[in-house]
Amino acid sequence: MRRFVGGVNAVFTGLVAAAALAAGGGLLAGQVPALDVLTHLAPVYGVIGVVGLAWTALAGRGPVAAVALLAVVASVALILPELRRDTGPAAPPDAPGQVKVIQVNALRTNADVDRVARWLIAQQPDFVMVAEARADLRDALRRAGWKTAGAGGTQMIFTRERYLTMNRPPRRAGALTFVNATYATTSGPAEALTTHVGWPTRRTVGAELSRLEEVVGQLPRERMILAGDFNAAGWSREMHRLDRSLGLVRRDRAVATWPAEVLGVRWPLPFAPIDHVYAGPGWATVKVERGPWLGSDHYPLIVTLAPVPER
């Protein structure tokens, strides 16, 4: 028994020390951008720290309590600014002119695309922004009467009415995947934009973010709706940069959408909010919620907006 406890103690000690180092490194991401990759797992570091503290209390030995506490405190310090961030104006549930936006990663290997299509149709949204979109999903929604922007790519926008116009900023090879178009709403034209940014471990992410900032800057932002799979947690320095530079307001706050499955099996405890919806100052937020599992590794993100009344 003593040998078993010693083995468990060694494992916990190593995990807690690694979590404390990673969380502490994440706090330095503002000075060392390469460390930003560490920030995305902040909740995991906090959980490991709590487990370490519990083991120390129960077993009377184990990780140094100060190191476990450091993992917890550093994790909270990474996440807290996201919880305190301004998410823009709010609107009541009965606000007129509402639009429902769904951001979803359909997953290229999803074996049940029909479930995705059925759920999206039942939600009756105004805008559906799809990352890793597929021809079979596109065709299923088209058969149900939906219109498509970006039909030939992996990033698509689905709406019940065809777009008014598509003023596309010029593409640059390999820089950023995006689709945009202008749509009519009951409160006036709105620019919809969807994108899919690479994982933070990729060297191209910096160029993708710069290109996204450039694209948004070339389009009307007052009533813009930007949604996408950013592959970046809301508390990361990557998202902090976009929050400052885009001239839009990110309406979701710490709504975890990943992972939705592990090894092909549904995972009910997502911890990373990596799908996001931004909107211009002409929109107020009515509601933000997470959708059900649809066979993808992401849960859908649902954001309902209403126009800000003119002064």
* Cα(235)–Cα(79) distance, integer angstroms: 6
User: 242's torsion region: left (phi>0), alpha (psi -120 to 50) or beta?
Assistant: alpha
Which percentage of the chain shows pLDDT scores above 70?
95
pLDDT of residue 132: 96
Q: Which of 81, 86, 84 is nearest to 235 (CA)?
A: 81
pLDDT of residue 263: 83
Which tens digits make up the pLDDT trace of 18-35? 999 999 999 999 889 889
Query: Would the pLDDT of 122 be above 90?
Result: yes
Q: What is the CATH number of the domain that holds 211?
A: 3.60.10.10
Q: Are 48 and 173 part of one and the same domain?
A: no
With respect to residue 66, please indicate whether it lies within any of the assigned structural domains.
yes
pLDDT of residue 49: 92
Q: Which of 2-11, 154-163, 215-224 is the least confident region? A: 2-11
Task: Tell me if 25 sits within 8 A of 75, measured CB to CB.
Answer: no
Which tens digits make up the pLDDT trace of 161-211? 999 999 988 777 667 999 999 999 999 999 999 999 999 988 899 999 999
Q: Which of 189, 190, 228, 191 is nearest to 209 (CA)?
A: 228
With respect to residue 92, please indicate whether it lies within any of the assigned structural domains.
no
Q: Which of 47-56, 102-111, 168-177, 213-222 is the least confident region? A: 168-177
Query: Would the pLDDT of 4 be above 70?
Result: no
Q: Are 18 and 45 part of one and the same domain?
A: yes
Average pLDDT over residues 263-267: 87
With respect to residue 170, please indicate whether it lies within any of the assigned structural domains.
yes
Query: Would the pLDDT of 280 be above 90?
Result: yes
Which percentage of the chain shows pLDDT scores above 90?
80
Q: Of 32, 59, 84, which one is at a domain's C-terminal end?
A: 84
Q: How many domains does the chain have?
A: 2
Q: Are 176 and 55 part of one and the same domain?
A: no
pLDDT of residue 143: 96
Per the prediction, the chain carries an average pLDDT of 92
Q: Which of 7-16, 125-134, 278-287 is the least confident region? A: 7-16
Sheet holding 177-185, edge to edge: 177-185, 188-196, 225-229, 275-279, 249-250
**pLDDT tier for residue 61 given thresholds of 50, 70 and 90:** low
Average pLDDT over residues 96-123: 95
With respect to residue 94, please indicate whether it lies within any of the assigned structural domains.
no
Q: Are 181 and 219 part of one and the same domain?
A: yes
With respect to residue 146, please indicate whether it lies within any of the assigned structural domains.
yes
* Cα(168)–Cα(24) distance, integer angstroms: 42
Q: Are 112 and 242 part of one and the same domain?
A: yes
Q: Of 34, 57, 84, which one is at a domain's C-terminal end?
A: 84
Domain that holds residue 46: 2-84
Q: Of 28, 59, 84, which one is at a domain's C-terminal end?
A: 84
Q: Are 180 and 303 part of one and the same domain?
A: yes
Q: Are 33 and 162 part of one and the same domain?
A: no
pLDDT of residue 273: 98
